[in-house]
Structure 1
């Protein structure tokens, strides 16, 4: 558990993502490695958050570099890794302008971190860096929240969860013309006998499959496959999360 000295959202992030089975996600990424006969040792994770996926992969023997724009998230991630005695390099950098000292075998960008890039120029910059820091034949794996999910699940809906330690209200506003979503989150975090309120606003953008393919093609990378959520089957029209695999 991260100390409350960190940014409020970083503190509650793990509580709000208890439904994410990071072991299953790690199994899935490894299944992609196996399916495409990839020999992977060192992995870079873009948008690592509080490090749960990177920590799971490090447990499995991979050399992990985990990058995030939020220093508070990284403080939380580093604390978790240290408690397990895991040697992970955490970098406080932007996924559109990061720098490494060498190359890696695989780069992953998971849990719709890709959708947080709301301008095509940002995505093109990221792809350029991904290609630059991948070893020859290296793989880039990323997922997106699909247009179907934005239009039919996220839309202008309201979500909430109430429990003893943290309660949140998540209000969405989706503009179908710009295909941008605004997430307004209000949290009530228990502090002793009282609850502290704080607010966060996040933005994501919806991208079509054809736009994703154009980004890959423009980058000079080779498209390998598209999969539905945590499967090795082609995504359906009602898939809420799609995965893409491309190689240098």
Structure 2
């Protein structure tokens, strides 16, 4: 359906069930957003909603959730989960850079470091343009992205581990190579079982803090806070994450 920079960067999500199982226990971002919304039911928009890890509990709390994802399999899995719980979540298959929803909201969020999927300046710009069109004046946009700790990136990484996947012992060999010119980390994982061998890969863009601040300013956002984690830890040079709380200027 889509043919853009995201099209060939989705193989990590080929098995939505395994992905959901891996991340379902992570709740720090959900707790942050729940506290931010303060129990006030409203229409909210989640970008890159995946398997509904956040959308479903927020819908249970009375929020009207509009969830968008570019991966059909992940979205189908989210819909099945919502249907099983009798929840009406407005899920749609969309490219976030061309967002087209029937509402404007006071709140848009994106978690799971999904911002790193926007690999070029052009797609980052298009994302912020799309968010602006769907926010009310003074509306807020909260998202996270990994903090580029340069010495760790340039060293690269190769690791091996054994995991159980779909009931079978699997050897996983992971390799990471960082390109400082494009600021993209190329990650490839090879899975070896007793029956077969296969790979998946993902490219992730790293954006530096001052870059991010300029990007927000350029698109008419004010930076309310920059945290080092979803637990609101102070951001510094050792922080693994950047959690960005921005507000659209009126």
User: Shift in Å at residue 173 of structure 1?
Assistant: 1.7
Unaligned runs of 5+ in 1: 1-6
For 2:26, the equivalent position in structure 1 comes to 21
- 2 CA distance for matches of 1:134 and 1:199? 39
Determine if the alignment matches structure 1 residue 184 to structure 2 residue 188. Answer: yes
Distance change (3 Å), C-alpha of 1:40 and 1:238: farther
For 2:213, the equivalent position in structure 1 comes to 213
Cα RMSD (Å):
2.5
For 1:56, the equivalent position in structure 2 comes to 57
For 1:8, the equivalent position in structure 2 comes to 14
User: Shift in Å at residue 183 of structure 1?
Assistant: 1.4
Distance change (3 Å), C-alpha of 1:8 and 1:178: closer
Distance change (3 Å), C-alpha of 1:11 and 1:21: closer
- Tell me, what secondary structure is at the counterpart of 1:142? strand
- 1 CA distance for matches of 2:102 and 2:151? 37
- Tell me, what secondary structure is at the counterpart of 1:229? coil
For 2:5, the equivalent position in structure 1 comes to none
Determine if the alignment matches structure 1 residue 81 to structure 2 residue 87. Answer: no
Indicate if the aligned counterparts of 1:146 and 1:206 stay in contact, CA closer than 8 A: yes
User: Shift in Å at residue 182 of structure 1?
Assistant: 1.0
- 2 CA distance for matches of 1:159 and 1:103? 46
Indicate if the aligned counterparts of 1:150 and 1:174 stay in contact, CA closer than 8 A: no
- 2 CA distance for matches of 1:55 and 1:67? 13
For 2:241, the equivalent position in structure 1 comes to 241
- 2 CA distance for matches of 1:172 and 1:229? 23
Distance change (3 Å), C-alpha of 1:86 and 1:221: same
User: Shift in Å at residue 218 of structure 1?
Assistant: 0.8
TM superposition outliers: structure 1 runs of 4+ over 4 Å: 194-197
Counterparts of 1:46-195 in structure 2 under 5 Å?
46-148=47-149, 151=152, 155-158=156-159, 160-163=161-164, 165=167, 167=170, 168-187=172-191
User: Shift in Å at residue 195 of structure 1?
Assistant: 5.1
For 2:3, the equivalent position in structure 1 comes to none
For 2:36, the equivalent position in structure 1 comes to 32
User: Shift in Å at residue 13 of structure 1?
Assistant: 1.1
Distance change (3 Å), C-alpha of 1:157 and 1:198: closer
Deviates more, 1:134-143 or 1:165-174: 165-174
- Tell me, what secondary structure is at the counterpart of 2:20? helix
Unaligned runs of 5+ in 2: 1-12
Indicate if the aligned counterparts of 1:150 and 1:206 stay in contact, CA closer than 8 A: no
User: Shift in Å at residue 188 of structure 1?
Assistant: 5.9
Paired positions, count: 233
- 1 CA distance for matches of 2:124 and 2:222? 16
For 1:204, the equivalent position in structure 2 comes to 204
